[in-house]
Structures are given as structure tokens and as C-alpha cells.
Amino acid sequence: MSTAKRGRYFMRWFASRRAPFDQAGIFILLLMLVIWFGFGPSYFFKIFKGVTFTAYFHLHAIFMVLWVMILLAQPVLIRRKKFGLHKSVGKFSYLLFPIMIITTMLLIHSQLSGSTDEGSSFFIPFKDVIVLVVYYSLGIGFKRNVQLHSRLMIATIIPLIEPSLVRAFFNLLPDPIVSHSYYLTIAIIDLVIVFLIIRDLKFPKLRWVFVSLLGLIILFQTAIITGAADAKWMNQIARRFSELPLTVK
């Protein structure tokens, strides 16, 4: 068998395997490990050393951790056939998710100084908020379609990878590799989404979730790499957002 035929055979076999979305808890456990290595030195460890953070940092951390715990719990509950509890936790997310988004926006606002060149400082975290809101909303909208719902909720995990993994690389990698932390991070994120797309090749009515997610993520990554996130109009949006009376600076 030629190399090309072997490659096509492997892709057909790989795509035919049922995507273990009820085992997403394993992926989320890995995410929690990345979060620990990313935010441990820059946040958690510093708390124990007496470093002071604003209330906005703490609120964001608390509700983000709660959100990750829900993402971890839901597939576990499905595997153990605790469907009633799964539904109750899902309803609890109706309250938790908006609070998590609000505390994120407050943290973003508190870190802006109001200068005219903070477009990327606003855009980089805000793009993750966009992805979270879009795919969580779709996930709730399609909650009666189990296969579609599970994929949409998995999509909400992806925005959590970048801020954690960038920091983890920054904390762990030696010079000069550390200077490429962002590029390593986006490469891994894109490969993860491509992996999910390949797993869904057998399900044409479902593959749009990860295909659309990849397109949106690449669009945002391109904006950062090309400097579009620092364009004049984005700087103006950031400045006007920073001028809103949302936080005490």
C-alpha cells in the first residue's frame, strides 16, 4: 500500500471512530493542569506570598474556576447517567455564566488606563468573551440536541486555553524559545480544533461547530499577529470602554 493510500485509509478510520465527547472531562483536567502552571506563578502563588490583587482579579478567578469545574462535572455526570443532576447543574450555569462574563469584563475594564493605544489590551481578552458568549448561547439554544449541545459546550473550553497556555509557556520555557510562546499557543489551539473537526468528518450535520470555531479563532489570531488589534478604531473602542464608570481604578 502506498503512503498516500495509507494516509487516506487512516483518515477514514480516524473519522469513523465515535468522538468521545462524554469523555471531555479528561481534556478539561488537562486544561486545569495548564491553568495551574499558567496562573500559579502569576496569581495563586503570589497570594500566598502576600501580594495584593484588586477585587476584580479575585472575582474573575473565583467565577472562572467555578465555570471550569462545571465543564469538568457535566461530562462526568453524563457518563455516570446522573441526567437529573446534569440538568440541574446546567440550569445553575444560567446564573454562573453571566456573572463570569461580567467579572471578566470588569477585570478588563480595571486594567485599561484610558490611553489611546490600548486596542490589543482590550481586544485580546474580549475576543475570548465573544467566543464564550456565542458558543454557550448556541449550546443552550440546542440543549435538546445532545450531540450538537455537547460540541457547542466543548467549544467554550477553547477560549480558556490561550491565556493559560501562554502564561504556562512563559513560566516554563527557556530563552529564547519563550519569546515564541504566543505562536506555540495558537498552533496548539488550532491543532486541537482541527483534531475535533477530523473526529467529526463522519457527522456532516455536526461538523459546522468546530469548522466555524476554527474560522473565528483564526480570524482573531490574524488580527493580533497583523496588528489589526491595534488599529485606530480598536484603540478608540478600548478608550471609550475604559471611560465607562464600571470600576474603581
Q: Quick check: is 186 in a domain? A: yes
Q: How many residues are there in the chain? A: 249
Tens digit of each residue's pLDDT (9 = 90 or more) over 71-108: 888 888 888 888 899 999 999 999 999 999 999 999 99
Domain annotation covers residue 70: yes
DSSP state of 93: H
Tell me if 94 is assigned to some domain.
Answer: yes
Distance CA 239, CA 112 (A): 8
Domain annotation covers residue 1: no
Question: 171 exposed, middle or buried (CB, 10 Å; 0-12, 13-18, 19+)?
Answer: middle
Is 132 within a domain?
Answer: yes
**Containing domain of residue 88, as a range?**
23-242
Is residue 3, in this structure, part of any structural domain at all? no
**Would 51 be classed as within a structural domain?**
yes
In a domain, 8, yes or no: no
Contact criterion met (CB below 8 Å) for 249 and 110: yes
pTM of the model: 0.87
Q: What percent of the chain has pLDDT over 90?
A: 63
pLDDT of residue 18: 47
Provide the domain count of the chain.
1
